[in-house]
Structure 1
Amino acid sequence: MSLTLPEGDWIRGISIRQPWTTAILTGAKTIENRPRPWRTGWVLLHAGQQTDKPALRLPLVARTIRDHRLVTGAVLGIARITDCHQDPEGAPLCSPWARMDAWHLELADVQELPLPVPARGQLGPWKPAPGLVGQVFQQLPGFRP
């Protein structure tokens, strides 16, 4: 039995540099920082071509990604953005992963793919090609949007 996915604009791609993508896939990083607000809904988690090398030295990151391979240039999983907010000025940050100067995308229902799907991403939310969506969801037969 094949999975029937919804038609239309129900999923976007989000490109994130490593090691941040892997930190999300571990389940530890539930906040993604962005300069502008995003809508809620499903996203493909795409690891961009570049690695944020200074981030590798941060203790929180190093502990989280220990023993994980940092694949780049591929879709590595999916997640659902459940909220997008900014913390009020002077209030504590909502997460140790949050930045004060950013919009915080709250991520839930993160699922890592068994195999990376090579793909090109882009800045900002991007619309994945139907073929890419099909390749991703072949690996997640139990997924129901």
Structure 2
Amino acid sequence: MRALTIRQPWAAAITYADKRVENRVWPTSYRGPVLIHAGKALDRRHGPMVAAVVRGLQLELGAVLAVARITDCHEDDGECTPWSASGNFHFVLDEVTALPLPIPHRGAQGLWTPPAVLMDRVREQLEGEGTARVLREEAAPC
């Protein structure tokens, strides 16, 4: 299991809207479950682009918001989705499951490994979530 820190409002757009690609300047070969972590910084340059999508939502900062699965990473191939940015690598996200409550935690750069205590808190919230069962099972060996 890995985690990815993403600035707001992009983390909210992944968690609560239909943003299913994360744009990065670096590629990854990792495929599998990933925690979506909202960083402590806001991206004020592009925020107005998603304001209508996340309007009314509190933009949590410094917290894990969701669990997803990275299923692909490819170089820019044009606009694969309305959320893709040209010149970037596109991390394709599927099976996004919002946590009922954000879990405050410090983030890190790159794909980072969440500590066992954080994974325990995530698993507690995913109990009974059928859509997250596979993610829990893969995350268990932390």
TM range (shorter): 0.7 to 0.9
Aligned counterpart in structure 2 of residue 32 of structure 1, from 22, 45, 49: 22
TM-score, normalising length: structure 2: 0.87
- Whether 1:85 aligns to 2:74 is yes
| Aligned mate of 1:45, from 11, 25, 36 | 36
1:62 is matched with: 51
Candidates 93, 104, 116, aligned match of 1:130: 116
Does the 8 Å CA contact 1:36/1:102 hold for their aligned counterparts? yes
For the pair 1:71 / 2:60, whether they are aligned, the reply is yes
Q: Counterparts in 2 of 1:92-131, with a 5 A limit? A: 92-131=78-117
Give the gaps of 5 or more residues in structure 1: 1-10
CA distance in 1, matches of 2:44, 2:15: 18
Q: Does 1:14 align with 2:4?
A: yes
Letter in 2 for 1:124: G
- Higher relative helix content: 2
Structure 2: gaps (5+ residues)? 135-142
Partner of 1:144: 133
Question: How far, CA to CA, are the matches of 1:125 and 1:56 in structure 2?
Answer: 23
Once the two structures are superposed, residues 18-65 of structure 1 have per-residue CA deviations (whole angstroms, 9 ceiling, x without a partner) of 00000001231010001111211110000000011222222xx11211
Percent of aligned positions with the same letter in both sequences? Answer: 44
CA-CA distance at 1:144 after TM superposition: 1.9
Give, in whole Å, the separation in 2 of the partners of 1:85 and 1:56: 24
TM-score (norm 1): 0.85
In 1, Cα distance between the equivalents of 2:6 and 2:68? 13
- Equivalents in 2 of 1:124, 1:46: separation in Å? 11
